[in-house]
Amino acid sequence: MSDSNSLCNDLKKWLLQASDNQLDFRMIPMIEKWDDDPKAIQILEVLDKCIYASLASEIVISVLQIMLDEQIRKEKTTMDELVKLATWRVEVEQ
């Protein structure tokens, strides 16, 4: 397991243990469904929903953004490519 995987797993555990004033309980089931090495698209969905509905503190948003940036780099993709896959964004816009 690489250091990046280990860090993502540690951050995932931290998110799952976050208090309700840090992360809304409605996000926990989504995070629990993440792969062991979360995909960028999985992180983006939680990040988007946390931002859109004010479901997380600034520190949690920052952690999710760091995780997303790392996974984008690791998966050799771009934010533009991920946005094309973000089906929940279409649901919100309608």
The residue among 47, 36, 43 whose CA lies nearest residue 2 is 36
* Tens digits of residue pLDDT in 11-70: 999 999 999 999 999 999 999 999 888 999 999 999 999 999 999 999 999 999 999 999
The residue among 63, 37, 39, 34 whose CA lies nearest residue 50 is 63
Q: How confident is the model at residue 1 (pLDDT cuts 50, 70, 90)?
A: very low
Distance CA 12, CA 16 (A): 6
Q: Could you tell me the residue ranges of all domains in the chain?
A: 3-93
Q: What is the pTM of this model?
A: 0.86
Other Cβ atoms closer than 10 A to 38: 22
